[in-house]
Amino acid sequence: QNGVSMTFSWQLGAKTQLAASGSINSRESEESGNQDFITGSLTASYQLGSSLGLSLNYDYTEQDPDEGSSGRDYVANIVSLFINYSF
């Protein structure tokens, strides 16, 4: 398996943070042939108070196998909202 990944994070003021990450990987095996994987994520977080915060997250995942291989093509788009409370 070989590939590359990256992660970035930005603090926008005292209560807001943005983060982005992604990767591209290629994997080859005798059983499944060559498959490419692409992932990405964007997150926006906002601190509402000293113990309460919100996070909105978007995740993208793609698998792209070569023609004739046993892998399956798929794409996933996931949006999540998290409420964080610490006590």
Q: What is the pLDDT of residues 16-71, one digit of tens each?
A: 999 999 999 988 777 666 788 999 999 999 999 999 999 999 999 998 877 766 66
Give the pLDDT score at 74.
Answer: 87
pLDDT interval class at 7 (50, 70, 90) = very high
Helix (H) or strand (E) holding 20: strand 16-29
Which tokens go with 44? 């926006």
pTM above 0.75, yes or no: yes
- Length in residues, the chain: 87
Residue 63 burial (10 A CB sphere; 0-12, 13-18, 19+): middle
